[in-house]
Structures are given as structure tokens and as C-alpha cells.
A and B are shown apart, each in its own frame.
Chain A
Amino acid sequence: MLSDYRPLPGAFDELLGATEKLRATVEAMLAGGSAEEFARTQALAEAALLNQGVTFSVYSDARGVEKIFPVCLLPRVISASEWERLERGLQQRVLALEAFVEDVYAEQRILAAGAVPAEVVLGSAQYLPAIRGVQPPAGVRIHISGIDLIRDGSGAFRVLEDNLRTPSGVSYVLENRLLSKRLLARAFEAARVRPVNQYPARLAAALRSVSPVSPEETTLVVLTPGPHNSAYFEHSFLARQMGVELVEAADLFVDDDRLFVHTIRGPKRVHVVYRRTDDAFLDPEVFHPDSLLGVRGLMRAWAKGNIALANAPGNGVADDKGVYPFVPEMIRFYLSEEPLLEQVPTYQCARPEDRAYVLEHLGELVVKVVDEAGGYGMLMGPSSTAAEREEFRRRILASPRRYIAQPRIELSTCPTWDSQGQCIAPRRVDFRPYVLNSADGPWVLPGGLTRVALREGSYVVNSSQGGGSKDTWVLKGDG
């Protein structure tokens, strides 16, 4: 099936660029199978997801249409030694980011030292001056993070962005793994892959470890915006897998700075909230005085140390795309280490010289809004129209602080099932590993979400825009 496989020029290919042994592993997996057979297996996988309701909601229509997140059964494979380097880099990065958020909401040493410009941090829409001085339980703020990585033309992993608020997608990692084991059992066994199904237990333990009361006495809940939210499947999935209640804001109330949930027997105390709502929808008292959303008094309960919120409010100040260029400086400042993971060179439109360069080269760069996620509000320079570029020029000049630009990095490609051509073709991928942080330090799930741009020629991997996913096999050995 791979005899006609041709990589894309300029891109690192996860299969052809891999070591001999790793390549042999993947090739052995596909050996002997026919395209028809693979197409059937692929169809089985999609039917299983639909029947199980493994879906996400799209906002385009009033009722919220549910769609399955398309999956390509051909896995992305990472060798043990590659993984070990990545893991260390991720732990280092999360520790530095954790120290940064802690510092920003306390003494602000890093701003005083000038290692990160104060105006970039304090000017971020995600900075919450109101919570300065709050010490969250166990001192952890970034309990769950998803760090987006890409692989450049040379095959080096680079951090594209950090997600330190409500990173989603881990449920697909676990669901994709079930499909791999069910439908590719023999190949999976031969490859010797590290498991991922311990994630919910690890998550529950990490969350209970930061509780203001003992883990045994802790009531832990998952807070969801509700079934209309695009990631609702994941919210219910994690609650189910951790064996805890899934609550909506209206189920909760605060009395005497303590948090309760309404039950059929009356109020019950809650200690840890894994919240999957944005900061802005947490507490109308603090964020939107005239809003009906959220739980009135939640932030008071948190500030008093009566509940743990995961992730902590205000983390957005560290994953703001305007702050991103300074993460290497944070690593040097707080850990006195050199960064183990590369980043992507970034122009900040707030700086006059960068802005001038960006405006001159709009046709080559990728322009991003600093506080948008999900692939929205982007200009893909090389594929943009003159009108789009003009629109972004206007917007950048109107509020330069809101925009950054990066050269378009050639994403790596991975052999992917092309349902139109009924063949295996190279498609661009990125990678989101998940890191849990607790009093015991950061732990990286050996696996992660590989997102793939299923359309030929596409760079966009977002589920909302034609992307799909792959299982990621982190091998126990080097293949």
C-alpha cells in the first residue's frame, strides 16, 4: 500500500524521515493489506464513533449540529528516545510557565527584572489584576495543559502555542486508542506501545491532591457549560471516567464563601472544580456584573482557599500569544536552564520594527490574534487574497498589541488514508501532548492528540475546520 507513497517537498515526513527500525514497524503494519480492506476497517471506525456518540458540536446552527471528529486509523509513531527528549522539554516548559503565573499574580519579579516587558503582560486581556495575591491550594495553577507542537522541515519539534486554560482533546486520545486496539490489534501488539488509559485516574489523583481537604473527603466535580458546548462529549467523558459528577453552573451556589451543589437531598459541599468554562463565565460578581452565567461568589470561595479551581483563573496571561515569545526567557529566569524545546520565530506587531516588517510581508506570514483559539481570526498569508491582507493591515494598525506574526512553518506529514483517492497520501499533522501538574510535579501523558489536515494541500488541523485526528503511538523502545 505504500509503494506509491510520495512525500511533500520541503516537509519532514514522519514515516520516511523516521529511523530504519521505526519505518520497518509501520511498514510491517501495512504489509499484506489491500486498500479495500483498509477502507472497510476505516469505515468501521467511523461507524463506531457515530454509534457511540463520540462527537463534537459545531456552532454554525442554532441547535448545534453534532459531528464526529474524523479519525484516520494510521497512527503517528514516536520512538522512545524522541519521546524522552520531548517529555523533558515539556516538563521544563510547564514548570517555567507555572512559576511565571505564580510570579505575575504575586511579586512580579520577572517584570521588575525586565526579562518580560511589563506592558505586554499587564496589557494582556487575560491578565486579572483582581486575583493578585491569591494563593491557590497547593500552589498549583496549571493543573492541565496542552502544548501544541509542530515538526519543522528538519524534523525538530517546535512549540507553536501553549494552552493553559481549558485545553481539550484528550478524550479523543483515549477513544482513538480503543479503536487502534480493536481494529489494528496485531500491529499494535507488535509495535509495543505505551498505554494512555491511565489518564483519567492520574487526572483525578492530581485534582484531589490540590484539594483544601484530604483527598478521601474531597468532592470533585467537572463543570461544563452544558450539552451545547463543542467539547461537551469530553466533559461528560472525563466525569464518567473519573467517576465524579458533571455539573452546570446552575447546579452550584456559594454560601458563606463555601461552594455547594444542589442535590435531591439538599446542598452538598464541593472542594475541587475541574472547570471547562472560560474565566469570563466563572463568576458574574467578578467578570460580568450584569451576566446571569456562572456561579456568583465562586471567586470569593477560591480566594479564601475553600475550593481549588483547575485550571486557576488568570492563566491566560501565560498562554497569550503576545507573551509566547518570552517563554524561553521565563525558562532562563526561573529555572536557570536553557530551553530544551524550540519555538517558532515570532514578530510582535506592538514593536514598531516588527510591525513594519509584518505589514511589508503579509503575503508570506501567518498572522494571529493573541487571544483567539481554535484557528479562528488567522490570516494565512501565502494562501490569502489581497482583500484579506488589506483587512488585516487595517486591523493591525488599529490595535497592534492584538496581533503577532510567524513565518509559515512547513508542518510535518504523516501517511494518511485519503478517502477520496482510496489510497495512502501524505497529510500535514501537528501534535498536542497533555501535561498534568500537581504537588508532585509535572507528568506527561505518553501519547497525545495528533491532529491531521485531511484535505490535500491543507495546513488547517482544527476540528472545526476540516481536521481529523490520529492515534499517537509512543513506543516502549526505538521501534
Chain B
Amino acid sequence: MENLVQIALQNVNMAAILPSLVLTCFGMGLLLINVFLPRGTTRHAVWISVIGLVVTGFFVYTGWGNPQYGFNDAVANDNYTAFFSVIFLFAAGLTILMSDDYLTREGYPVSEYYPLILFATAGAMWMASGTDMLTIFLGLEVMSIALYVLAGFFRGQLRSNEAGLKYFLLGAFSTGFLLYGIALIYGVTGSTKLTEIGIYLNAHGSLLENPMTLAGLVLLSTGFLFKIAAAPFHMWTPDVYEGAPTPVTAFMSAGPKAAAFAAFLRIMEYCFFSLKPEWTAMLWVIAVLTMVIGNVIAIQQTNLKRMLAYSSIAHAGYALVGLVAANEIGYSGILFYMLAYTFMNIGAFAVLVLAGKKGEDNLTLEGFSGFGLKRPFLGVAMTVFLFSLMGLPPTAGFAGKFYIFAGAVKAGYIWLAVIGVLNSAVSLYYYLRIMVYMYFRDAEEDYAWVSLPAAAVISIVIALIGVFYLGIIPGDVMEMAKMAIF
């Protein structure tokens, strides 16, 4: 007992959790401020949140290149954490900027929305920084609980309720898998620390000799693949993405997905590096399945949110290709891709947010007829984001896919890269269809309800800059991504 206390006290290192700590403080502060202001005032929350994100970003920035470990090796604030934190912060920031007018339009000007996003972001950061199964699990729960609430945020809307409930039930179910996996791994190795697990597994023979490791690994993977929205654990995605408030969907598709990738990648590399041939074979199948299912079903969709949900599944598949490659380019490609995806996908959702009427029944292909011509700025922005999602140069999506597939080819998975590229070709169909409707159909409406609030425009412009920056000069960020991986 005495020993434990000593260990606990010695390993306190606030620098290891500084960014997420700051963010949490902002979240809690904002929560308190909210209750003391009259109902329906939300504008202050936007700016306080953004300031909070920027301040957090500053601490993330100062932590770059200066890794900090603490709490008995349960947390690592290294470059890897920092890179992912930037992704989460951008995801949260872009989401928050587009939300304010949207919430008012939909009749829920409730300021709790913003602290919830901050908490989810903090949870995501813990997931990325966790080097202990339990820290990761803690982060996952903090993030997920906030997201359950956010998904069902429009409590008067049936669809939103359904989304929240489904996400909660299935999320809890998947958490069960994850926790069980952690328990089994603990049973085998006697530790929850990633490095210790890795050392133990490396020293003690092959996987197949011990069904418990195998089961643990599979259950653990199920938990994370659920959050990533990889097939066949993707079923929740379309329903939840469609029903949740659009900015929340945007956030969920970028931030938490990246967080799950962060934790999954770290666990795979720290704990199971000795079993690489085995789990890459498993993920190969998952990656292919995910890409195919995402892209193929997306073709049939006419609701744009649902289409982007399937597209999001497909993109998870592309990113998984980098995990299968399991080399430097593949891993850093995932980091790059997640950042790129954050910009392009949230950008696309931001356009949807602005284009929607109250209730968002018009967010269909038909409802977008002639949109590009009537609303040139949003039309051009949407075109850029779609090009990026397709993976055409000179956009971020192209560079991201290029790195990921290059990693796969380098690792010898030529067929996987070919399947990936073929899938990108299939994806052209449904992305281009949006553009066809936007530009080549006669407008039936004048889109007079579409306004351009400054905050949302800032969000779109940042996303545009990000898409082009990563697309035209991907080298710098890719270098950083290479420095960020282990």
C-alpha cells in the first residue's frame, strides 16, 4: 500500500495532461456561466468555446517535440497525441462555428451544446494520449457519453431521439466488447499498460497458443472498429448520422473517428506489434469490406446526410488500409488522412448546415437542384470538398489517399491498393451526382432562406484553406505526421 502511494505521488506530471485539462476547465466554466445567463443566449458560448480551443491549441503547440509522460505511464503527451489533438481541436472548432445559427433555426438554442462538444473533445484527447487501457477507456467513455447526448440533442424530434438512443444502446454494447477485451488481455498479461502488454506478448510465444489473447484482441478490435464505423460494425452510422443534428454528425464523423483511430493504432502498435501478421490479415478483410459496403450503398442514397454517412464509412475503410500497411507511410498516412478528412468532411457538412431548411427535409439530391448556381460561394465550396472527398488533386483528399495507398503498396498489399482505388472510382459516381444536381438541374427554388452567418463562413473558409493547403503542400504536414508516429 505504501508503495502504491509513493508511485502515485511520484508520477504526477501535470504537463502530460495539460491541454486536455485546460479544455476541461473551459468546458466546466462554460457550463457554469451558462446556467447563470438567461435561457436561449448562446452566442457567448460560441466564442468562449473557440477561445478555449485556441488556448488548448496553444498548449498542444508548446508540447510538440517535448514529450511528457505521467501518472505512472498512464498518459503520454507526445507528438502523436499532439497531432491528433490538433485534429480534434479543428473538428470541434469548425463544428462550433457552424452551430450557432443552426441551433437557433432548428429551435434549440441551448447553450449546453457547447460544453458537451468540449467534453467530447477532451475525451478524444485522453483517448489519443492514453498509454494505459484504462485511460483510453476513460477517454472513450467521456467522449461517448457527451456524444450520446449530442446525438439526441433535439429531444423533440423523433429522428434525433432515435439517433441518440440507438447510438447509446449500440455504443454501450460495443463498450462491453471493448471492456471484455481489456479484461481478457489483462487476464493474460497481468497488466493494463500498453507497453507492458506488448513486452509480455512479445516474450510469450505466438497468439494461437492462447485463445484468450486472441479473444481479447478480437473483442478489443470490435470496440474500436465500432467507433471507427468499420463494416460490419457500421450499422449504427447511417441512422445516427442522419438523425443527429447536422453539426454533431459533422463532428462525429471526424473527431471521434480520429480518436478511435488514435487509440486503436496506439494499442495495435504498442501491445500487439509481435502479432502484426495476424491482425493485418484480419484488418485487410475489414478494410475491404468497409470500403465496398460504404461506397456501394452510398450509391443508392438520395438523402445527403445519409450519403455522407456511408461515405464516412468508406473513408474509414481507406484509413484502415494505412493500418493494414502497418509501416511508416501507412501510419503517418492515417494521421494525415484524418486531418484531411476533418477539413473536407466538416466543410461539406457545413454547406449542408447552411443549405438546410428548418427540419432539413430538403437535404436530398432533388433539394439541391441548381443550388450551385443560385448560391455560388457555397456551390464552389461544396465542389471543392466533394473533389477532395473523391480524392482529386490538388486537394487534401488526393494527398491523403496517395500516402495511404503508397503505404499499402510499399508494404506489398498491391491488391488492397487496387481495391482502394477502384472504390474511389465508384465513389466518384455519388459525389459527382451531387454536383450534377447542383449545377446541371434547373433550380426549383431560389434558396432565399440560405443565409451566410459570419461564423459559419469562417468555418467553411478555414476548411477550404485546410483542403488546399494539405492538397498543394502536403509535404510539411506529412513530415510532422512522420515525426508524430512512434
Whether chain B is bound by chain A comes out as no
